[in-house]
Amino acid sequence: MKRALLINPWIYDFKAYDFFLKPLGLLYLASYLRQHNFEIFFIDCLDRNHPLVLKNFKIKKDEYGRGKFPYTFIEKPEIYKNVKRRYKCYGMPKEILLEILEGIKEPDYIFITSVMTYWYLGTFEIIKLLRERYKAKIILGGIYPTLYYEHAQKYANADLVIKGRAEEELYKYIDNLKKKDFFDLPYPAYDLYHHLDYVCLLTSIGCLYRCPYCAVNYLTKGFRVRKAEEVLKEIKYYAEKLKVKNIVFYDDALLLNPEFKKLLKLIIEEKLDLNFHTPNGLHPRYVDEEISYLMKKANFKSIYLSLETIDEEWQEKLGNKVKTEEFLKAYNNLIDAGFLPEEIEVYLLIGLPNQDLATIKRSIQFLLPLKVKIHLAEYSPIPFTLMGDSFSFLTEPLLTNNTIFPCLKEEEKRKLEELKSWFHQISKNNQFD
């Protein structure tokens, strides 16, 4: 039997938070490899519930399992030298990782995922550490190597870099693996965790929209949905076998799934005592009266809406996904269904190139009387997107980090930081997050 070590690496960044963060692709890969008779060893460096982490840190979490990662300060890369923030390694300390590795036999293959493009330094450090310890072939996959394939090939020091979906590519390089369709994969291998506060799942892959800032359509071709009955089986498996209470939908376009209303009705019929969450943001246009009622009845706890802006010109530039009146209708539908205003959270997009700060302020002021929780989502330029491809600096993934607002001039950055400070002050005064 072949042995595989799968690792979700540290985050190297200025900020990070466990906001329903799980390496879903890596967990699917684990179940795929097990199906092909691999012995699996799994390490999530961001696992805040690992016994060795709990032994060494006082981990705080909210009622749904979200919270801060442990971290250590590290030296900033030269490219960030002018950023007036501390750079950190988020996740379990190196000493804990090494202790875990002591109990793992020499693997035949090491699989490492890498998510955000500007987190790659943490991935490189993991690869370096494993190179010193094992002789196994190291295979790198995930969003970073898919968007920055040549960069990863040149600098990651991996034996193989996978571009795209592992279940569709690995069979070309590893004997006895078979190509699999995503919908034929077994459930993600969440049983590899010691304890789970939540699990994340997909009812669909891809998206019908073509937002100019988003790379989903490059990462996943088309839009495909799962049958409601199949998703229900997966939810019941997590509830009954893994005793999980919080189910998180990772879909990019959850409400575009024609099976979703049926799924909600099935959840209600089954009387499942679970909490449901939608962190990726729902399209307000599709939050009708029935959806609102069904989500409330099914016990949805985290409702996130993607408004982005109330400025009509920018709404058109961003894909014309939502009009302000459609957002208001969605809000009213949710309130009428029984959701409290503070249970509704709204994303506004900031830091866009040539975005007038006055439009951001107007959007915030528009939302304040509604008593919703406002989240300022900072734009990150991404290659293979309409907006991102116009920036020459995208050859360096570290410059896609939204913390540094790479698309803005220094004066624009200063004014945006002032606006953020104003927002945080009024949020505090109004008891918003």
Most distant CA atoms of the chain, gap in Å: 61
* Tens-digit pLDDT profile for residues 327-376: 999 999 999 999 999 999 999 999 999 999 999 999 999 999 999 999 99
Count how many residues are written for the chain. 433
Residue 169's closest CA among 159, 158, 180?
A: 180
pLDDT value for 430? 66
Mean pLDDT in residue range 197-204: 98
Does residue 20 have a pLDDT over 70? yes
Does residue 150 have a pLDDT over 60? yes
* Tens-digit pLDDT profile for residues 211-220: 999 999 999 9
pLDDT value for 392? 78
* Tens-digit pLDDT profile for residues 232-250: 999 999 999 999 999 999 9
In the chain, pLDDT over 90 holds for what percent of residues?
Answer: 93
Q: Are 97 and 334 spatial neighbours (Cβ–Cβ below 8 Å)?
A: no
196-429 maps to which CATH number? 3.80.30.20
* Tens-digit pLDDT profile for residues 290-309: 999 999 999 999 899 999 99
pLDDT value for 33? 98
**Is the model's pTM score more than 0.85?**
yes
Does residue 433 have a pLDDT over 70? no
Give the separation between CA 30 and CA 41, rounded to whole angstroms: 9
State the Rg of the chain over Cα: 22
Q: Are 283 and 255 spatial neighbours (Cβ–Cβ below 8 Å)?
A: yes
Domain ranges across the chain: 3-184, 196-429
Q: Are 360 and 367 spatial neighbours (Cβ–Cβ below 8 Å)?
A: no
pLDDT value for 393? 80
CA neighbours closer than 13 Å in the CB half-sphere of residue 308:
26
CATH of 3-184, one of 1.10.10.10, 3.40.309.10, 3.40.50.2020, 3.40.50.280: 3.40.50.280
Does residue 316 have a pLDDT over 60? yes
Does residue 432 have a pLDDT over 50? no
pLDDT value for 279? 96
- Alpha helices (H) along 213-288: 216-219, 228-241, 260-270
* Tens-digit pLDDT profile for residues 254-301: 999 999 999 999 999 999 999 999 999 999 999 999 999 999 999 999
Q: What residues contact residue 374 under an 8 Å CB cut-off, 6+ apart?
A: 345, 346, 348, 364, 367, 368, 423, 427, 432
Q: Which of 42-51, 57-66, 396-405 has the lowest mean pLDDT?
A: 396-405
Q: Are 33 and 4 spatial neighbours (Cβ–Cβ below 8 Å)?
A: yes
Beta-bridge mates of residue 13: 88
Mean pLDDT over each residue of the chain, to the nearest integer: 96
